[in-house]
Amino acid sequence: MRSRMGVLVAAGLGLCLTSCAQVTKTLKAANLGSDVDKVVAATEKVQSCDKLKVEPAIQEEYALGSALAIHWAQRGGGLMLAGPAEQGLNTYVNTVGRNLAMQSPRPELRWTFGVLKDAEHFNALSAPAGYVFVTRGLLQGVDNEAQLAGVLAHEIAHVVLKHALNQYVSVKVSKCKLATGATAIASIGASMLLDASQLDGRLDLDANTGLMGEMVEGTVEAFGKGNRRDEELAADALAVELLLSAGYDPGAYSLLLGKTTGDGGLWANHPSKKDRQAQIDRLVQERREATDPLARVDVASLQRPALPAAFAIVGPGKKSTGVAKDAK
């Protein structure tokens, strides 16, 4: 018994010093009996969960994105689509947004933009597969079309850079590893996660509403923790490129950021607005001074178009009191 326990302890210590794969081989070679065989089997299941670390198929992205879009719309009080005036606003926001999206590396997505009824929060959100939302409260703080374009471009960038999709993949892996425990197997969709880990790592979310619910819930929870600072700066950098390609002045977006408050606290993982503004200024300056004539930008030609009459439906402007929170 002491000899057997000694080997088990040695193997256990090995967990801290070697990879899981090597530990599994060690335990198998030791031939320690049925109890250890169960441990080996469980370890192999955990290892197989890493196969879920693959980029989701486009069908999986659309399924997740549409479910998240419904969640954001419900949480934001629904979409402003009642009557001709609100529909006109929706058409305008979609026109501006889709023009920007066509400048992006993923123009083929079915880009959809919407205005949430929420007038209390200065907020913008996005979801995989090309869903972008802005709140009525945010629109009340916008002074011109270039500022609106800046917010939309930032959210488009999160979708293009697949920030929310990467969070979703992490959720899949963590839920799969939890499902390897005996008590977790009974959870909805757990068996599908384990099955996917034995195949190509992709899920058919449309085929199982329970699994869809679990994945959306987990992704929303991950979203609540926010994007990393480098992801926010990357989204701003791509947003600048989209704005320049569409002829907008990124300086207008920088001014909008300057009007907001809320650094720290809930937004502690966001870069400061000063850091974001500094990056925008630097990127525009680099394009202004580019030696390649195809990359060079004539800053004087960049536009800050006035908002159309359709924008009046959002109501009077107010001081911006938040920083756009992203679900990228």
- Residue 193: pLDDT band by 50, 70, 90 thresholds? low
* pLDDT the model gives residue 178: 78
Q: Using one digit for the tens of pLDDT, what is the confidence trace for 198-229?
A: 556 677 888 888 888 888 998 999 888 888 99
Structure tokens at 273: 């607005």
Q: Which two tokens stand for residue 237?
A: 């950098």
pLDDT higher at 17 or 146: 146
Identify the pLDDT of residue 201: 62
Non-local CB neighbours of 184 within 8 Å, separated by 6+ positions = 178, 190
Where residue 31 falls among pLDDT bands split at 50, 70, 90? low
What 3-state DSSP class applies to 200?
A: coil
Predicted TM-score (pTM) of this structure = 0.81
Query: pLDDT category, 40, cuts 50, 70, 90?
Result: very low
Q: Which H/E stretch holds residue 129?
A: none
pLDDT for position 184: 44
Model pLDDT for residues 41-58, shown as the tens digit of each residue: 444 456 668 877 888 999
Report angle CA 136, 239, 249 to the nearest 5 degrees.
Answer: 85
In the chain, where the domains are located: 1-52, 58-163+227-327
